[in-house]
Structure 1
Amino acid sequence: MSRFTVTYRIFASNIEEAKQRAENIALEQTVEIPRDIVPKGYIEDEILGKVEEIGQESEGTFKAIISYSPDSVGDELAQLNNVIFGNSSIQTGLKVIDLDLGETLASRFKGPRFGIKGLRQKLGRPTGGMISPVIKPQGSSVEDLATIAYLCALAGADIIKDDHGLTNQHMAPFKQRVEAISAAVAKANAETGGNALYFPNIAGHVGEIDAFAKFAKEAGAGGLLIMPGHFGFAAIDHLARAPDLDLPIMAHPAFLGPYVLSEQLGFTHAMMFGTLQRLAGTDISVFPNVGGRFGFTKEQCQSIAKACTEDDSIGQTMLPSPGGGMSVERAADMAGMYGDDVVYLLGGSLLRYQDKIGEGIRDMRTALDAI
C-alpha cells in the first residue's frame, strides 16, 4: 500500500524551525498527540505522518514533503482533505502547494467522470475553446432567463450556465427555471443541430442536493453547477460518483477566495482551483480571470489552467473556465494564454447586447475560430 504525500510551504526563520514545524504538522494531521506518547507499532509505523524531505525554497520559506497512510483516510474525500490540511490550516505561515495521491488513493479517488475528452464529445466540439454564457441577473423572471438561454444556444453557445446567485428564490424557483431553460436549450438545439448543454445551479438545503440534481437531469439539463465553498467538496464527490446521475459537473469559486488570497496561508491557486477540484470529480473549474475585477495575476491563472489540464495529475484532465473581464476584444489574448482546452465564461459583457445577445456569441465564436 503506497503512502500519499502533501507538500507544504513553511514560513520560518531557519531550517531548524522549519524542521520542527514539519514534524509538528505530521503529528497534527494524523495522531494529534505529543510525539513521546505515540503508541509503538502500527500507529507509529503506519498512521503517523512522516517528514520525507525538507529544504529551503527561498529566503524565509521552506518546502516540506510529508507522507501519510491511506489507512488514515479510508475512502472519504472529507477525511482526505482533513488529513491534507485539517487542524494545520488554522496555523499561520503554512500553505499547501502540492499533492501526490500515490497508487492506493489514486484507485479510490478517480477524478472527473467526463473530463475534457468526454465534454468535447458531448458538445460535438473536438477542438477549440468553448463558450459559456452566464444567464442572469438575479431577480429576472423564469421567462426572461429562458429567452436569454434560447438566444445563446441558438447562436452556438456550448454551455449555458446559471449565475451562481440563482438558487431557489421566488422570482425564478429552481424547478420552474430548470424546466423552462432546459426546454429552451433543447428547442434551440433542435433548430440548429447543435449540442448546447445547460448547467443549472444546484439549490436547496444539504439534504435536498440529490433530489434537485435528479430533477435537473429528468428535466433535460446537460450538467450541474455547484459551489463547493458552500456545499463542500464532498458534495461534488458524491454527485460525480452517483451511478444514476451521470452528468458533468462545473464548480463555482464563490466563498473560496480566503483559501488562496494570503501569501502565507491556505492553498496555492493551482491547488484550490485545479488539484482539489480534480480530486473531487469536477469536470469544469470556474475561477476569476486575469484582468477582471478580482485581481488574480496572469501567472496564477496559468498555474490553475496547468493544474486542470496536465496529464500527470488526478484522473482525467478537466476544463479550466476563466470568468470576469472576458470579452470578444480579449479573445485572441486569452486563447494565446490558455490554449484550446478552455471554457470562456461570458457574463456582463454579453448582456450588453440585450435582445441581440446572439450576436455577442457569434462574435466570440468568430474571434476564437480565427485564431
Structure 2
Amino acid sequence: MSRFAVTYRIRATDAAEARARAEGIAYEQTVEVPPDVVPPGFVRDEIVGRIEEIGPDSDGFRATISYSPESAGDDFHQFLNVVFGNSSLQKGIRVIAIDPGPEIRRRHPGARFGVEGIRRMARRPEGGLICPVLKPQGIGAEEIARIACLCALGGADIIKEDHGLSDLRTAPFRARVEAVVAALDRAELETGRRPAYFATLPGPFERIEANLAFAKAARVDGLVVMPGLFGWGLVSRIARDEALNLAVMMHPSLTGPFVVSEGSGMDCAVIYGTLQRLAGSDLSIFPNVGGRFGFTEGDCRAIAKACLDPNGPGRPILPNPGGGMSVDRAQEMQAMYGQDVAYLLGGSLLRHGEGLGAEIARMRRALDG
C-alpha cells in the first residue's frame, strides 16, 4: 500500500542531531515507544515512520518521513494525528509539505465543488469573485439581511457571514439565515441574479447536526466552518454528505499559532492549501498581504498556489484572501492572484453605507477592466 510523506524543517546544530530528531519524529508520530520496544514484523516494517530523505535546509535541516496509511485509518483527525500530533509539542519542528500519496487521496477525496462548482453556484464563469462579509456583531437579523440585499443588488458573487455572528442573541442563527434568504429572494426578483450565500455554522456540538439540516432546508448554499474551533473532521463530514450537498468555506480562526512562528507549526501553504483540499473545503480564507495580520506577498502566493495546483489533492479550491481589501487594490490583487480567487470585502465596504452596492459594482468594473 502506497505510503504518504510529510516533510519537516528541523532545527539542529549538525547533521547527527538532525537525524536523531527525525528518527524521534518517525517513532513519536506512530508507535510512540522506544525502538527496542517495537514489535518485529508488520509494526516495525510498516507502521514505524521511515526517513526517506534528510539534508540541510535554509533554516536548519529538512527531513521527509513516510508513513503507512494503516497508521492514519479512514478518519481525517487520525491522519492529522500522524502528520504532526505529538511532534507539534516540540520546539524547532515545522511541517513544510505533505504528499498524501494515492491511498490517502482516495480516502480523503477533497472538495465537493471546488473552483468550477463554486463558479457555477455564483454564476460567475470567469474572473475574480466578489465576496462581501455580513457584519458586525451586535446588529439584528433584519439589519444583516438589509446589508445582504444591498450586496446582492450591487452584484456580489458570494455573500458570507462574518465568523463571529455565531448564534448570538442579537441575531440568532436560524432567524438570521431566514431573514437573509428572504432578502436574497427579493433581490433576485429585481436583478434576475442570486449570489451564493454562506452562513456561519455555530455550535454547540449537540446542535450541529440539527443546524446542518436547517441550513439545507433554508436554502443556504454553503457554510463557513472553523476547523481551528470545531475540528477538521467537521469539514470532511460536510463535504462527503451527498444529501446535504453544501459547500464549505474555511475560516482560519484559532489556526494562527500553527503559522505565525517560523520555527514551529506548519507552513501557511500546508494549513491553508494542502490540508484544506484534503479535508474538503471549497474556499480557503486567509489574511491578505497589506492587511493587519502581517502575511507577506510570498505567503499569500504560496497559499494560492497550493489551493489551485492541478496536481494537488482533490479538486482545486478558491483562495479567499481577506483583510486590507478595497476596490482601490482590485487591479493590484488581480495581477497577483490571477482570475481564480474570491475577494473578501468587509469594513472597507461597510464604510459606504447605503452606497455599498455601488462600491461592489465599482469593484466589478475594476476587475473586469
TM-score by length of 2: 0.99
Equivalent residue, structure 2, for 1:303:
302
Partner of 1:44: 44
Q: Distance in 2 between matches of 1:106 and 1:201?
A: 28
- SS at 1:107 equivalent: helix
For 1:126, the equivalent position in structure 2 comes to: 125
Q: Which residue of 1 aligns with 2:17?
A: 17
CA distance in 2, matches of 1:280, 1:315: 9
SS of the residue corresponding to residue 230 of structure 1 reads helix
1:298-323 residue CA offsets vs partner (Å, 9 max, x unmatched): 10011000010011111000000000
User: AA paired with 1:183?
Assistant: A
Residue 273 of structure 2 is matched in structure 1 by 274
**Where does the alignment leave 5 or more consecutive residues of structure 2 unmatched?**
none
User: By how many angstroms is 1:13 displaced?
Assistant: 0.8
- Aligned partner of residue 107 in structure 2, secondary structure: coil
Letter in 2 for 1:113: R
- Does structure 1 residue 135 correspond to structure 2 residue 134? yes
| Matched AA of 1:69 | S
Q: Secondary structure at the match of 1:44?
A: helix
Q: 1:111-141, CA deviations, whole angstroms, 9 ceiling, x for partnerless residues?
A: 1110001111111111100000001110011
1:186 Cα deviation from its structure 2 partner? 2.4
Give the conservation status (yes or no) of the 8 Å contact 1:96–1:267. yes
Structure 1: gaps (5+ residues): none
Mapped partners of 2:196, 2:123: distance in 1? 11
1:313 paired residue number: 312
Aligned partner of residue 33 in structure 2, secondary structure: coil
- Deviation per residue, 1:149-180 (Å, 9 max, x gap): 01101111011111111011110000000001
Residue 189 (structure 1) shift: 2.1
Distance in 1 (alpha carbons) for counterparts of 2:122 and 2:169: 32
Question: How far apart are residue 49 of structure 1 and its match?
Answer: 0.6
Question: How far apart, CA to CA, are the structure 2 residues paired with 1:158 and 1:242?
Answer: 24
Match of residue 111 from structure 1:
110
Q: Deviations over 1:199-242 (max 9, x none)?
A: 11001201221211221121111111111110011111111112
1:246-300 C-alpha deviation (Å, 9 max, x unpaired): 0111011111111100010000010111111111100000011000111100100
1:49-60 correspondence to structure 2 within 5 Å: 49-58=49-58, 60=59
Task: Give the Cα separation in 2 of the matches to 1:35 and 1:204.
Answer: 42
Q: Tell me by how many angstroms 1:359 deviates.
A: 0.9
d(CA) in 2 for partners of 1:113, 1:260: 26
Q: Secondary structure at the match of 2:138?
A: coil
CA contact 1:183–1:220 (8 Å) conserved in 2: no
2:219 maps to amino acid: G
Q: Report the alpha carbon displacement of residue 182 of structure 1 after superposing the two structures with TM.
A: 1.2
| Contact 2:95–2:265 under 8 Å retained in 1 | yes
How far apart are the structure 1 equivalents of 2:159 and 2:72? 37
How big is the shift at 1:102?
1.0
> In 2, distance between residues paired with 1:248 and 1:121?
12
SS in 2 for 1:344: strand
Instruction: Kindly provide the amino acid, as one letter, of the partner of residue 94 in structure 1.
Output: I
Q: Which residue of 1 aligns with 2:205?
A: 206
> TM-score of the superposition, structure 1-length normalised?
0.98
Alignment pair present for 1:157 and 2:156? yes
Alpha-carbon distance in 2 for matches of 1:92, 1:350: 41
CA offsets per residue over residues 26-65 of structure 1, 9 Å max, x none? Answer: 000000000112110010011111101101112x511101
Counterparts of 2:306 and 2:186 in 1: how far apart (Å)? 36
| Alignment of 1:7 onto 2:7 | yes
For 2:46, the aligned partner's letter is E
Structure 2 distance, partners of 1:293, 1:23, is: 39
Distance 1:229 1:342 in 2: 23
What is the CA deviation profile of residues 315-370 of structure 1, one whole-angstrom value per residue up to 9, with x for unaligned ones?
A: 00000000000001000100000000000000000001101110111111111111
Question: Tell me, what secondary structure is at the counterpart of 1:244?
Answer: coil
SS across alignment from 1:200: strand
Query: Would you say the 8 A contact 1:185–1:197 is kept in 2?
Result: no
Query: Which aligned segments of 4 or more residues in structure 1 are displaced greater than 6 angstroms?
Result: none
1:122–1:195 Cα contact (<8 Å) kept? no
CA distance in 1, matches of 2:199, 2:57: 43
How far apart in 1 are the matches of 2:204 and 2:126?
A: 38
Distance 1:4 1:154 in 2: 47
1:191 positional shift:
2.1
The CA deviation at 1:183 is: 1.4
The one-letter code matched in structure 2 to 1:178 is V
Contact 2:105 2:278 in 1 (8 A): no
For the residues of structure 2 that align with 1:329 and 1:22, how far apart are their CA atoms? 47
After TM superposition, give the deviation of residue 187 of structure 1 in Å. Answer: 2.1
Distance 2:29 2:211 in 1: 35
SS for the counterpart of 1:263 is coil
The 2-side partners of 1:224 and 1:249 are apart by: 5
Aligned pairs for 1:1-371 within 5 A: 1-58=1-58, 60-370=59-369
Distance 1:91 1:269 in 2: 19
